[in-house]
Amino acid sequence: MESKDVLKDVNNPQLCHILMKFILRMKPTPLIRFITYIYATAKTFTLTEGRRNRVGGVLIAAVCQWQTFCWPNRLRQGNMFSPLRITSITHIKYIPFILPMLIILLNLSGCTERYQRFSASPILLFDTIVSFSGYADNDEEAFMAYATIVYERLEELHRYFDIFNSYDGINNIYTINANAGIQPVPVGQDIINLLLAAQESYHLTGGMTNVVLGPVLRIWHEYRTGDSDALPSLEVLKAAALLTDISYMIIDEENSTVFMQIPGMSLDVGAIAKGFAAELAMEAAINAGMNAMLLNAGGHIVVHGIPPGQDAWNVGINNPSDLMMQQSAVADIVTLTNSTVSISGGYQRFFQVDGQAFGHIIDPATLFPAQRYQQVTVIHPVSWMADAISTALFILPLDEGKALAAKIGAEALWIDLEGNWAFTPGYAEIFD
């Protein structure tokens, strides 16, 4: 999905040449030639959707001109419409072929490759690699302008949603955590909207996606990234869990503030921030006028529009077994338009103790990493919802996960620890 490729639409010079040659051999009337010429000329100079290929239109007009305009002689003879008379069965038998090909030809006046797929260089945001690609009208400069809009918006949101660092001139998630139990923190609307979405996902998932699980997640982060060869004790984790009640996260929409009421509480928005930011970045590009694009944020893939000349985007789903062996392979391909694929897997960030792998997705019920699946894929039109639900489905038993997917209108694919597949009924409809 990331490679630069050229989409060749049906407008190509060879096909135009063949059709024109065939029509000319059928000895069309001057009226048909004249209509073709006028249309081709109009297509050449009436440019309303960006750059067209002017050469193709001019060539067709020139070919149509060839031996076409006998109109002055016809006018002098008082017989302008005489070429329209059908005088033999030979002419009649060609009509079913000539007219459809004439219609096709009139719609091929561009006669060139029109759209090209471009890809921007990947960047590192939200603790993952982010890449952006899309189709532009043979204009890489225009595409790069869209890519700049997307990346700048993502960089802005990365600073807002960062839990590890503060930034001059803004209050972010780090600022909220630093003021837990002290005072409400004024924040921008993007943070307010993110946390409102987090509240919604918490209630939808029965608490499986919980942005105030920060104290527990921080302990696991320290063990995973440090030099420890042991697991945190259940007693330490239970003590931290006392600070994870989401009802003590106070969002004041009127005053645009957020307050964590109990000292020691902390937000960790990793289960939803990437999907939320991806959606806002894509909206920025859509508002700027881009029509067909794909954003890949470390396995969270958002597509908008339809690639020119195709029915949908083809999105590959990684094979988790191969990824764990540091190989690259595709387990499945789904076809999508205006939707999101969000993948959660224990192989993405993990550490090992006594030969056993422990991932980064923590089950709030056990306070330990979820161990049911290798990977869960969720497909949903709302980016942040797909992100949050994929985390929940990775934690929940299969039957409960299927019920949740059906409740919110998501499709999902589960791959368990033995490599067995399970999926929602609608998933088969988007399987390629």
Is residue 43 a part of any domain in this protein? yes
Tokens of 16: 């135009």
Give the closest residue to 243 by CA, choosing from 218, 209, 213: 213
Question: According to the model, what pLDDT value does residue 318 have?
Answer: 84
> Number of folded domains in the chain?
2
Global pTM?
0.72
Buried b (16+ CB within 10 A) or exposed e, 287-296: eeebbbbbbb
Question: According to the model, what pLDDT value does residue 38 have?
Answer: 42
For residue 209, the enclosing domain spans 164-260
Where among 106, 131, 152 does a domain terminate?
Answer: 106
Q: Indicate whether 98 and 171 sit together in one domain.
A: no
Tokens of 198: 């987090």
Where among 106, 137, 152 does a domain terminate?
Answer: 106
Dihedral in degrees, nearest 10, Cα atoms 315, 146, 387, 185: 170
Is residue 181 a part of any domain in this protein? yes
Classify residue 426 as exposed, middle or buried by CB count within 10 Å of its CB (0-12, 13-18, 19+): middle
- Block mean pLDDT (10 aa), the chain, length 432: 32 41 50 46 35 40 40 38 37 42 41 74 93 90 96 98 96 98 98 98 96 96 81 95 98 98 97 97 96 93 94 89 59 92 78 70 94 94 97 97 96 94 88 57
Q: Indicate whether 101 and 169 sit together in one domain.
A: no
Is residue 97 a part of any domain in this protein? yes
Is residue 183 a part of any domain in this protein? yes
Going by C-beta distance under 8 Å and a sequence separation of 6 or more, which residues neighbour residue 275?
300, 340, 342, 383, 384, 385, 386, 387, 388
Where among 106, 124, 149 does a domain terminate?
Answer: 106
Question: According to the model, what pLDDT value does residue 299 have?
Answer: 85
Question: According to the model, what pLDDT value does residue 120 have?
Answer: 96
For the chain, state the CA radius of gyration.
Answer: 30
